[in-house]
Structure 1
């Protein structure tokens, strides 16, 4: 198998057709260059040049190798340039995933601020449920993800960046609507609207209900918090939702605080893979900035 350095000196030799000139250009001694050529011809099994005194001329085998060697070197140069562009902290790419509910406020806030400081950085964005995002990080498909709650997967690192208070979302005419706070156990007999399993808010709701001593009766499961809020406003059921300020969910919903209930938000990345310079720079920016 030819190495890159073999491709380089061979292309120069094919173009100069002189060992002396090639030795000067490649900083190889003439005996070293002659040995390399002999070894290459033995490796391939044919002679590559016709000798015309002190001058070398490519034969048909050498022409084939020269054509492919030039193409290979151009491809390698292009690959190196592409990699350097992706890896540059000022012009590279950050693969950032996030939950659907963070796409309306948190992630846009992050991107606006970061791109003021680093306008040349590109972002490849992807949104999905919490478990799918954790799987993508573990598989190396993405660099970073904004998720909640903290994943249980030991393959990913976690850095908390914000938190939100949680409330029992009820319709405006509900019996809990005028309360200043509520114990979740008091809602045990209510019909619940929740996210699908594998979504972060569903895990939070399930864990809160379990701590309150009951299993919620789900009348509908959704993949969008906005849909959950809309159905609560239609008196289809109640739900546990984060408190947004200003509110971004449906009108006609009252958010009754649940004492001590918080939604912790964090940034995750793979423990086993080194972050690229652009991704590491973005992570550092997120860490030093206040998001809640």
Structure 2
């Protein structure tokens, strides 16, 4: 009965290309500025399409796309087992308190951070794995004093001078924290993933809109590649 209901729902959505429902997910690192502005533009162009929004970490979003609970999701990095359109790359910068010795620098080499205390995500997080890998390439293991999942909390701890962090630039200003570019290409891919099922017209319309507006993700992306 559930499969029949799903099939009937798809038929109804396809019968009305100007309406329908799209279940869309995006990561916790995007949202205060970029996603709402892009979705507002979409709603103005397609007011009859309803959006069910989910904000979560990458693994959770990928799972919801795989099992059909989401139609589309922006993910950092995009999974390899789902259809993906690469939207761009997200630069990772050194974040320090505005009183830190590196706060006024134009760039910092990772090797200069060998003696710093780090604030980072738990080891299971993709960004933490990148940080560990990059630091290993620079010849040291980061000394992590605080582990926490949320980027905004990491920035708050950095602002209190409790350590440094490697993070994407915040979409909204964070007082007391300075983002300093790192030498070399320190970035990660951002992609728009979809399920393996055939998309409804509403899903296709939102997907095309997000791809067209990739450059609007609040400067967090270097578009291309």
Same fold (TM over 0.5): yes
Would you say 1:212 and 2:170 are equivalent positions? no
Q: Which residue of the other structure, out of 100, 104, 123, is the alignment partner of 2:51?
A: 123
TM-score by length of 1: 0.65
For structure 1, list consecutive stretches of 5 or more residues without a partner in the other structure. 1-75
In structure 2, what is the Cα distance between the partners aligned to 1:90 and 1:243? Answer: 36
CA 1:280–1:134 in 2, change beyond 3 Å: closer, same or farther?
same
Q: Which residue of 2 aligns with 1:21?
A: none
Match of 1:254 in 2: 178
Match in the other structure for 2:104: 178
* Residue equivalent to 2:34: 106
- The structure where helix makes up a greater share of residues is 1
Q: By how many angstroms is 1:227 displaced?
A: 0.7
Shift of 1:149: 2.0
Q: Is the 8 A contact 1:147 1:200 kept in 2?
A: no
Which of 1 and 2 has higher RCO (CA within 8 Å, sep 6+)?
A: 2
Bigger CA drift: 185-194 or 201-210? 201-210
1:130 is displaced (CA, Å) by: 1.1
Deviations 1:192-213 (A, max 9, x none): 1112344443344334333333
Q: What is the CA-CA distance between 1:142 and the residue it aligns to? A: 0.9
**SS of match in other structure, 1:167:** strand
Q: CA deviation at 1:83?
A: 4.2
1:287 to 187, 193, 211: 211
- The Cα of 1:84 is off from its aligned counterpart by 4.2
Equivalent in 62, 86, 94 of residue 13 of structure 2: 86
Structure with the greater alpha carbon radius of gyration:
1
SS in 2 for 1:116: helix
Contact 1:232 1:239 in 2 (8 A): yes
The aligned counterpart of 1:148 is: 76
**Are residues 131 and 207 of structure 1, via their aligned partners in 2, closer, same or farther at CA, if it must alter by over 3 Å?**
farther
Output the TM-score relative to the length of structure 2.
Answer: 0.82
Aligned length: 210
In the alignment, structure 2 segments of 5+ residues that lack a partner are 220-225
Superposition CA RMSD, Å: 2.3
What's the CA shift string for 1:191-244, capped at 9, x where partnerless? 111123444433443343333333322222222211111000001111012224
Give 1:95 deviation, angstroms.
0.8
Matched, 1:264 2:189: yes
Matched, 1:201 2:127: yes
